[in-house]
Amino acid sequence: MGTQAHSTDELLRLFDAGHGICTDSRKVQPGDLYFALKGERFDGNAYAQAALDAGAVKAVVDDEALRGGAGMVWVEDGLQALQDLARAHRRRMTGTVIGLTGSNGKTTTKELLYSVLSQRFRTHATQGNLNNHIGVPLTLLSMPLDTEVAIVEMGANHVGEIRELAEIAEPDLGLITNIGLAHLEGFGGPEGVKRGKRELFEFIARRPEGRVFVHAGQPVLLEVSEGQTRTLFGTPEHLPHATGLSDLPPDWDAPSAFLLHTPLGTTGPHALHMDGGYNLDNALAALTVGAHLGVTWAEGLAGIASYRPTNNRSQWVVTPHNRVLLDAYNANPSSMESALRNFAAQQHHAPLVILGDMAELGEYTAAEHRRILDLALELGLEAWTVGPAFAALERTDDGLSFDGPEALMEALDSAGVSSRTVLLKGSRSVQLEVALPLL
């Protein structure tokens, strides 16, 4: 093929001849096509030969020094080549692609969507948190051509990022779980978050058969979807709608139950193995998209009932000493407020909230941590905090503050907590889950 930059069509032929894509030379499997990507602290070109030695069929590189080398496929920009290849592969797919984003709940909603849609279709979804400029291409390239429905999660922390991801994935349908206070530093404030998230809907508006799904109880989502082909849901006027049960049926084996109101009538109670009204909205979104694509209500409800959260997301854990709601995968002001209000409303026995710092808030850091702590106290909750942002706040209550998880663990080890209902909620960087063995 010479030493000119290789085209997307040439890369597509190599991709089809291999077994998969790999961007980490340490994880190469024989037959993989290795892409050498650059990061802040690494250059994948330096490991291209190691990838070939490990069995990669070819190494896609953008270092001039490797141009023309044995086994090397030279391109002008490795990341751009990966994204172009993913777009070309997506265009060969005849199934429906769903784009999903939101300030809170997008990963949980993705999992619920997958559970619902898998009842009827060959469904593929983003694995883990592969939802950025590298993860979305890898997600698309992992999808078999006979995929009937693809669910592509899109994360962002600055304006323009969702637009770039949509241009790669080219979704037919779109869902924004909510627009709240997340990544305020990167987006430049609440208005920036709104502009960034609406980019998904703006892309889908250009698709011939594009449609977006909008919770009618969220004014911001109604605003950003105005004038588009949309399906409204989530209120008594816009079915389906769901209502939670305050008293669970006898011998109920799930944390939550709900009634589902559809054009066919009301059914229930149905099982939801997650806590919180916000997760009920996530389940309802999954049911709505499923119904649009032809999943029956019975099939969709079976999918919802079969899903159980993992990865520290809204998981109830019963320990020998306490009952713990582990929600320590991530946190921002919007999700923190929802979690606190829901926890307080349930009037648990001897409630305790342990809150970890919220990341990526920039100039809003002090004010938002103050607001969340004040809210917890207004709700009558005993609040312990973990992390320097919370620790910097002046407190007049009896709650404890710790600079980090190690100090929290020392306090739990010496004093102990028992016979409490505990909410563990914080950003990933705080790693509050390390305290679980001591609770």
What are 136-149's pLDDT values in tens digits? 999 999 999 999 99
> Do the Cβ atoms of 242 and 284 come closer than 8 Å?
yes
* Per-residue confidence (pLDDT) for residue 2, from 0 to 100: 47
Query: In 10 A of CB 32, how many CB atoms?
Result: 22
Residue 254 has what pLDDT?
A: 77
Task: Return residue ranges of the chain for CATH 3.40.1190.10.
Answer: 93-306
What does the pLDDT read at residue 1?
Answer: 41
Correct CATH for 93-306 of 3.40.1190.10, 3.40.50.620, 3.30.565.10, 3.30.200.20: 3.40.1190.10
Q: Which fold has domain 315-438?
A: Protein-Tyrosine Phosphatase; Chain A (3.90.190)
User: Which residue carries 């909410």 as its tokens?
Assistant: 423
- Residue 434's SS3 state is helix
* pLDDT given for residue 292 in this prediction: 97
Backbone angles phi, psi at 93, to 5 degrees: -80, 140
What local confidence, expressed as pLDDT, does residue 276 receive?
66
Which residues face 43 on adjacent strands? 38
- 72-74/265-272 β-pairing: unpaired
Please name the residue ranges forming H helices in 225-364.
277-293, 297-306, 333-345
- Between CA 342 and CA 344 the distance in angstroms is 5
Q: Before 269, cis peptide (omega within 30)?
A: yes
- In one-letter notation, the amino acid at residue 182 is A
pLDDT on residue 167: 96
Listing DSSP states for 174-219 in one string gives: EEE----S-SHHHHTSHHHHHHHHHHHHHHHTTSTT-EEEEETT-H
Rounded to a whole number of angstroms, the distance between the first and last alpha carbons of the chain is: 61
Whole-number pLDDT of residue 134 = 95
- Residues of the chain within CATH 3.90.190.20 domain(s) are 315-438
Q: Of 3.40.50.720, 3.40.630.10, 3.40.1390.10, 3.40.50.300, which CATH number belongs to 8-78?
A: 3.40.1390.10
CB of 357 closer than 8 Å to CB of 408: no
Q: State how far the Cα of 179 lies from the Cα of 193, in Å rounded to an integer.
A: 7
Structural contact between residues 313 and 142, judged by C-beta atoms closer than 8 angstroms? no
Q: Edge-to-edge strand order for the sheet containing 265-272?
A: 241-244, 256-262, 265-272
Looking at the chain, the domain(s) classified CATH 3.40.1390.10 span: 8-78
Where the chain has pLDDT below 50, the residues are 1-2
